[in-house]
Amino acid sequence: MAEYADIIIDISHEKLDHTFQYRIPAHLAGKIYPGVLVNVPFGRGNSLRRGFVVEVKGQAEFDEDKIKDLDSVAEDSVAIESQLISLAAWMRKNYGATMNQALKTVIPVKQKVKAKEKRMVCLCMEKEEAKEQLLLFQKKHYTARARLLEELLAHPEISYEIVTQKLNVSPAVIRALEEKQILEITKERKYRNPAGHLRKSEYQVKLNDMQRKAVDTVLSNMQKGVQKTYLLHGVTGSGKTEVYMELIADVQKKGRQAIVLIPEIALTYQTVMRFYARFGDRVSIINSRLSQGERYDQFLRAKNGEIDIMIGPRSALFTPFLHLGLIIIDEEHEGSYKSESLPRYHARETAIERARMADASVMLGSATPSVDSYYHALNGRYELIELNRRVAEKPLPLCDIVDLREELKKGNRSILSVKLQRLIADRLAKKQQIMLFLNRRGFSGFVSCRACGHVIKCPHCDVSLSLHKESGKEKLICHYCGYEEAKPSVCPECASKYIGGFKAGTQMIESVVAKLFPEARVLRMDFDTTRSKDGYEHILSAFAGHEADILIGTQMIVKGHDFPNVTLVGILAADMSMNAGDYRAAERTFQLLTQAAGRAGRGEEPGEVVIQTYNPGHYSIVTAKKQDYGAFYQAEIAMRKLVSYPPVSNMLLMLFTAEKEKEAAYAAAYFAALTAKAEIDGLKIIGPASAAIGKVKDIYRRVIYFKHQDYAQLVQLKDRIELFLKGRTDLNQVNISFDFNPINGI
Ligand code: ADP
Ligand code: ZN
Ligand code: ZN
């Protein structure tokens, strides 16, 4: 039977959607697959044109008579597009999506935009004079001005965006210094390296023994032609970034390129400047603020060989480097590496596949590796490299756990424990800063007892049940399997009547703090206060400038930011992330607590952390207090094994969305029954159930989870379902999509 190939003639792209179908002649059978560059007869004259194969199909989608034969494989080309298209095909297969969605993810759309002028902030005062000015600012506690001037003394030209976005200095402050003729803003058409004046040698550090060993391990493998995935496990400050840079320098020396993925939120000013200082204008940075057109320009520079190193969040993975040698994924445990739109790919797995295609290596780095990666490292799929000391020994912050059950017994029903209140008062008196952290991420409304800490869980799935209100009645639902029970009115463990939904919000905390500490200046950072375009930066720069004493916020505040004056971090309700209703809740709690603790005591003063919880004996809290990753991992992996969760098993989520609840429910039930009938060996079907967020913008959401030891079996199942769906017009009202090993909570 003949096969057919969909071809893109013009990869430069408004036309990505526009493919042409050709028949694959018998003599080319088996040589045509996604990414191959071919010659095809085109147009009326049938002149030969080149095009990329994006998909091979078993059936013609047009009138058989009108389909032409593909001519030949174009021999000479090593186009980077070939590699990216085959990567897209791999993503489509392994994560589920249409080929078009996959292509749009890996190939940026070209848009005709005018090249933007780059603004630079330049020091225009003599250094000596500037130093005097700096002293003046410091004396007057103009912290933002001082910070900017200090940086300008070190780097006399810095790009405007980096000053506002990474140094957290507001445009108003820049303008004020411009008016005083301390600095000027110049417009550059071409991008200049903001640290170009530095001599490279100034920035070389000599690696310590541990770092040297890490680098040598990778380099000697590369020398032998062995390309691998490494997991670099090292606490914050253990020198991971220096290891990355040393490896990149070597890759660069060999004429190859490197991609560095860093979660956007952790891509701080200090990090950016370190890469510039070492690699000058051979490095480029992208972030989500860039328009499609700007991103395209950056990718074009990469393709043209103008740069060797690309730094950025998830999407930087698709930088079209032709001789890619190394991919680094820093903070590899971060949830932002998983895409939430189709294809729902994970940057880690996709990086490993891209590296395999390019014969490159991958290095994953983290202080708190994901359970998945650590599991693969212990099983030998990755090579584990550890940096177990900090470069400059700084003591870990002091960490106290406060048992909120005891608070209740003592009659304190406030969200702030007595201990935390006392410490806040102490820091306010000392003019030091405080961060209060409330994690609402993935929060789904569990029910717990304030007297004994008992949390009501699903008897089948070992996750917390979520509280739902339906026509006035309260019930508890499992978001994996759909199990339901009525909400109890007394605690099943201790019969206390203090059982109920867990309520806490950043706004509520703000008002509690305002009442208890009327003299304190408070900033709040959450979804509401950061919705405006620069809200996030404004709050951070105000807090960095000590315009507030207390910063209250969600997980947004725990990442990456250095506030040397913060000496107290309060984690108000560790239980919120611990009982989030999904199997990664404990892992996320451990990571968040470890990170939050890392925010305290970054400066001269030692830091202190208070963790408030109803469940002080929970292993994620006990191990986070001791900063003992190994102990956490052992406890967690035992639980995953017991209940067959990833990475021990694999999970496929099938999501049904529809405008009518009945239709979503019907389709979900239908597919649950259908897959059960297929009797696939080793397949577990869980659900159907209402999704954790059962309704979004009036669209109803239902889920089924499939579990299987073997990922490939789940891919096959998805393929079979997709095929089955092709013929079914009766299910048109329901949108069906897939998510492999979901992590962000659906
Ligand atoms: P991580 O990425 O693990 O948090 P970094 O690479 O940022 O660690 O290192 C922490 C600090 O220690 C940085 O200021 C860095 O410049 C410094 N540092 C790292 N390695 C060395 C070294 N071998 N000698 C001196 N300073 C170092
Ligand atoms: Zn109880
Ligand atoms: Zn369940």
User: Where are the chain's structural domains?
Assistant: 3-106, 116-190, 209-392, 394-440+504-640, 650-740
Ligand nearest to C-alpha 211: 1
Q: What is the mean pLDDT of residues 106-128?
A: 74
CA of 456 to the centre of ligand 3 (A): 11
Would you call 245 helix, strand, or coil by DSSP? Answer: helix
Which CATH superfamily includes the segment(s) 209-392?
A: P-loop containing nucleotide triphosphate hydrolases (3.40.50.300)
Tell me the pLDDT tens digit for each residue of 68-114: 999 999 876 667 888 999 999 999 999 999 888 898 899 876 665 55
What's the 687 CA to ligand 3 centre distance in angstroms?
Answer: 8
Q: Could you tell me the distance, in angstroms and rounded to a whole number, from the CA of residue 391 to the centre of ligand 1?
A: 6
What is the best residue among 210, 391, 394 to mutate for testing ligand 1's pocket, by most ligand atoms within 8 Å of CB?
391
Is the four-CA dihedral 172, 176, 177, 183 of positive or negative sign?
positive
Fold identical between 209-392 and 394-440+504-640?
yes
> Which element (helix H / strand E) includes 571?
strand 566-571
Q: Decide if domain 394-440+504-640 falls under CATH 3.40.50.300.
A: yes
Distance in angstroms (rounded) separating the CA atoms of residues 623 and 631: 6
> Which ligand is closest to the CA of 453, given by its number?
2
Residue 242 in tokens: 């220096």
Residue-level pLDDT at 160: 84
Atom of ligand 1 nearest to the CA of 242: 6
At 187, is the pLDDT very low, low, confident or very high (cuts 50, 70, 90)?
A: confident
Residue 438, token pair as written in the block: 């409330």
Mutate which of 202, 205, 333, 388 for ligand 1 pocket (most atoms within 8 A of beta carbon): 205
Residue 631 CA, ligand 2 centroid: distance in Å: 28
Ligand 3 centroid vs 581 CA: distance in angstroms?
9
Q: How far is CA 311 from CA 47, 109, 298, 558, in A?
A: 42, 19, 11, 22
Say how many Å lie between the CA of residue 493 and the centre of ligand 2: 5
**Cα dihedral: 5, 6, 9, 13 (round 10):** -150
Atom number, ligand 1, closest to the C-alpha of residue 238: 3
- Report how far apart the first and last C-alpha atoms of the chain are (Å, whole number): 41
Write the CB contacts of 143 (distance below 8 Å, at least 6 apart in sequence). Answer: 137, 544, 545, 546
What pLDDT band is residue 191 in, cutting at 50, 70 and 90?
Answer: very low
Strand partners, 158: 121
CATH architecture of 650-740: 2-Layer Sandwich (3.30)
Q: Give the ligand 1 atom nearest the CA of 234.
A: 3
Q: Is the pLDDT of residue 744 over 90?
A: no
**Are the CB atoms for 634 and 725 separated by under 8 Å?**
no
Instruction: For 494-553, give the DSSP string.
Output: T--S-EEE----HHHHHHHHHHH-TTS-EEEESTTTT-STTHHHHHHHHHHTTS-SEEEE
Give the SS3 label for residue 231.
strand
310-316 average pLDDT score: 94
Does the structure show a pLDDT above 90 at 620?
Answer: yes
Residue 110, pLDDT score: 67
Q: What's the CA gap between 522 and 518, in Å, rounded?
A: 9
Place of tokens 């930011």: 561
For ligand 1, atom 5: residue with the closest CA: 239
The span from the CA of 677 to the CA of 681, in Å, is 11
* E-only strand ranges, 337-414: 361-366, 383-387, 398-403
The pLDDT of 29-35, averaged and rounded, is 88
Q: How far is the CA of 330 from the centre of ligand 1 (A)?
A: 14
Q: How many CA atoms lie within 13 A of 581 on its CB side?
A: 29
Q: For 383-395, how does the pLDDT look when each residue is reduced to its tens digit (9 = 90+)?
A: 999 998 887 777 7
Pick from 204, 209, 241 the residue to mutate for probing ligand 1's pocket: most ligand atoms within 8 Å of its CB: 241
Question: What's the gap in Å between 591 CA and the centre of ligand 2?
Answer: 27
Closest CA to 107 of 305, 258, 284, 299: 299
Angle at 731 between CA 729 and CA 736, to 5 degrees: 120
The ligand whose atoms approach the alpha carbon of 498 most closely is: 2
Mean pLDDT computed over 479-506? 87
Ligand 1 atom nearest 236 alpha carbon = 4
Q: How far is the CA of 445 from the centre of ligand 2 (A)?
A: 17
CATH 3.40.1440.60 fits 3-106, yes or no: yes
Does residue 630 register a pLDDT over 50? yes
Identify the CA nearest to 398 among candidates 626, 721, 574, 647: 626
Q: What is the pLDDT of residues 417-474, one digit of tens each?
A: 999 999 999 999 999 999 999 876 555 678 889 888 899 998 888 888 888 877 778 8
What DSSP designation does 709 have? S
What mean pLDDT is reported for the chain? 87
pLDDT of residue 180: 87
User: E strand or H helix at 463, and its extent?
Assistant: none
Among the bound ligands, name the one nearest to the CA of residue 500: 2
The answer to whether the CB of 107 falls within 8 A of the CB of 63 is no
Pairing of strands 433-437, 566-571: parallel
Higher per-residue confidence, 262 vs 600? 262
pLDDT for residue 201 is more than 70:
no
Answer for the pair 140, 169: CB distance below 8 angstroms, yes or no: no
Encoded tokens for 37: 């560059």
Q: Using the structure block, give the residue that is written with the tokens 């060996």.
A: 681
**Vertex 337 angle, CA 334 and 341, to 5°:** 135
Contact 275, 245 (CB under 8 A): yes
8 A C-beta contact, residue 192 and residue 120 = yes
- The ligand with the least distance to the CA atom of 207 is 1
Q: Which of the 8 DSSP states describes residue 66?
A: G
pLDDT category of residue 199 using cuts at 50, 70 and 90: very low
**Other Cβ atoms within 10 Å of 215 Cβ, number:** 20
Ligand 1: residues with CB < 6 A are 205-208, 211, 234, 236-242, 391
Q: Which atom from ligand 1 is nearest to the alpha carbon of 274? A: 16
Ligand 1 atom index nearest CA of 387: 3
Q: How far apart are CA 500 and CA 491, in angstroms?
A: 9
